[in-house]
Amino acid sequence: MNLILIGLNHRTAPVDVRERYALSEDRAFTLNEKLVLHASLVEGVVISTCNRTEIIAVADGAEKGEEALFQTFDALVPGNRAAREHFYVHRNRAAVEHLFRVAASLDSMVLGETQILGQVKRAYALAAQAGSCGAILNRLFHRAFRAAKRVRAETGLGATSISLARVGVQLAAEIFETLADKRLALVGAGEIAEASLHAFHESGLRSIVVLNRTPEAAARLAAPYDAQAASLSRLDSELAAADIVVSSVTVDRPVISTGQIQRTIAQRHQRSLLIIDLGLPRNVDPACKQIDDAYLYDVDDLEEVAQRGRDRRREAMVPAEAILALELEQFERWQAGLRAVPTIRNLVARTREIARREAQRTLVRMPDTSDETRDALERMADAIVAKLLHRPLDQLRNEAADQGPAYYAEAIREIFGLEEDEE
């Protein structure tokens, strides 16, 4: 079995390429389902965030698996072969390492940001729902979550954590003297919108309106912050009233056009308007950057601002890398231990079969035995087998995890006559 990870992120592809591969949850779910229908792919998880689209899969063969994944990406955006230079491919150890780094936010645009772990968890949950996640990826993702939590708890990354939303607040401080008298229009009511709302509310901004296609979702998000909620149909009037616009909806084409922003700026008497586009595909027409007094930042632009906090957080990278290395080693030991699984499975089956057979033989000689006694006898036979095999099975697992010669496994196969079974 081979682990293969193929994808593109903010380092390898500009936002206009990334947005073509960005997937909504529905599309990611469908893609997860399709992945395992491919002959060479056994398991697969699709991860799509505002900064990356990646697929990690377990494949029968490395080359076949890689080709299958590229075909999957090709199908997402017809004619994407020209964009292949933006993709990276990681196999086995490198793939595991990459996933650990992503989950722990060491590969994020904003080092130490808090949202990525939630996004990876969501990607895993979708794959589990779609049935594309098997034993290996289950174990791998749980290891990745554990590693990420340790990194946050045990290194300085947790203490200095920021998110793209907080970078947005920093940007607002470059434009506005105070946020207390400003108005924020949030377009979207998802996780990113919630993080933005929280960050701006924490910085003292109180006049907030949440706009969403479904006003109920907007109202749910707005309520705890005492903010207003409205339908997206009120976008024009809310734009004119807002000083800061944060947009994070999943759309195929921009929801905010150049014309809308030009009209808004004129109505505002050229007062500055900050627009933060956290959506992928982008929610705001990039041409708005050319409009005087409108300051538009998309996810790529935020990197410059994020850079300020990066040096401080970089100090926390060394212990974080050490934690990831440790977790990586443990996952590899577990993965190597899978070599012993057929032997263990056969040994357990064989010994249990013998024990039950002997129990049945005894019970034949005791015809008046009650059902409870029969069950108790069978359970006892199983318990004896489990106790007896406990140490040998541990030895088998450790031997496999150490990746050395399989002396114990060979000996056990020979002693218990398991060779034929395995074949």
Residue 180 C-beta: closest distance to other proteins, Å: 12
Q: How many of the other CB atoms lie within 10 Å of CB of 289?
A: 16
Q: Is beta strand 244-247 parallel, antiparallel or unpaired with respect to 183-187?
A: parallel
Kindly tell me which of 94 and 175 has the beta carbon lying closer to other proteins: 175
Q: How many of the other CB atoms lie within 10 Å of CB of 56?
A: 28
d(CA 12, CA 89): 12
Among 214, 270, 360, 373, binds other proteins (CB under 8 A): 270
Kindly tell me which of 84 and 308 has the beta carbon lying closer to other proteins: 308
Kindly tell me which of 67 and 301 has the beta carbon lying closer to other proteins: 301
Number of residues that bind other proteins (CB under 8 A): 20
CB under 8 A: which stretch of 26-34, 78-86, 287-295, 332-340 binds other proteins? 287-295
Among 29, 70, 88, 176, binds other proteins (CB under 8 A): 176
Residue 276 C-beta: closest distance to other proteins, Å: 12
CB under 8 A: which stretch of 221-229, 256-264, 267-275, 399-407 binds other proteins? 267-275
CB under 8 A: which stretch of 32-40, 266-274, 341-349, 350-358 binds other proteins? 266-274
User: What's the half-sphere exposure (Cβ side, CA atoms, 13 Å) at 399?
Assistant: 19
Kindly tell me which of 295 and 331 has the beta carbon lying closer to other proteins: 295
Q: Is 177 in the site for other proteins (CB under 8 A)?
A: yes
d(CA 288, CA 258): 5
d(CA 294, CA 273): 5
Q: Is 262 in the site for other proteins (CB under 8 A)?
A: no
- CB-based contacts of 48: which residues, under 8 Å, 6+ apart? 21, 22, 23, 28, 54, 123
Binding mask 290-329 toward other proteins (x if CB under 8 A, else -) reads: --xx-x-x---x--xx--x---------------------
Kindly tell me which of 229 and 305 has the beta carbon lying closer to other proteins: 305
Check if the beta carbon of residue 303 is closer than 8 Å to that of residue 280: no
Kindly tell me which of 18 and 397 has the beta carbon lying closer to other proteins: 18
Residue 88 C-beta: closest distance to other proteins, Å: 25
Kindly tell me which of 127 and 171 has the beta carbon lying closer to other proteins: 171
User: What's the half-sphere exposure (Cβ side, CA atoms, 13 Å) at 112?
Assistant: 27
Q: Is beta strand 52-59 parallel, antiparallel or unpaired with respect to 41-48?
A: antiparallel
Check if the beta carbon of residue 232 is closer than 8 Å to that of residue 211: yes
Residue 167 C-beta: closest distance to other proteins, Å: 10
Residue 293 C-beta: closest distance to other proteins, Å: 4
Find the binding residues for other proteins in span 134-173 (CB under 8 A).
170-171, 173
Among 84, 271, 357, 379, binds other proteins (CB under 8 A): 271
Q: How many of the other CB atoms lie within 10 Å of CB of 371?
A: 7
d(CA 343, CA 96): 26
Kindly tell me which of 151 and 302 has the beta carbon lying closer to other proteins: 302
Among 62, 83, 128, 175, binds other proteins (CB under 8 A): 175
Among 289, 310, 333, 356, binds other proteins (CB under 8 A): 289
Check if the beta carbon of residue 92 is closer than 8 Å to that of residue 3: yes
Cα 149 → chain centroid: 13
Residue 239 C-beta: closest distance to other proteins, Å: 17
Query: Among all residues, which ones are annotated catalytic?
Result: 50
Check if the beta carbon of residue 206 is closer than 8 Å to that of residue 229: no
Q: Is 174 in the site for other proteins (CB under 8 A)?
A: yes
Q: In what order do the strands lie in the sheet with 88-91?
A: 41-48, 52-59, 2-9, 88-91
Q: Using a CB cutoff of 8 Å and minimum separation of 24, what contacts does 205-211 make?
A: 205/179, 205/180, 205/244, 206/180, 207/181, 207/182, 207/183, 208/183, 208/184, 209/183, 209/184, 209/185, 209/238, 209/241, 209/242, 210/186, 211/185, 211/186, 211/187, 211/235, 211/238
Residue 22 C-beta: closest distance to other proteins, Å: 22
Residue 282 C-beta: closest distance to other proteins, Å: 15
- Which residues in this chain contact other proteins in the complex, by CB under 8 A? 170-171, 173-177, 269-272, 289, 292-293, 295, 297, 301, 304-305, 308
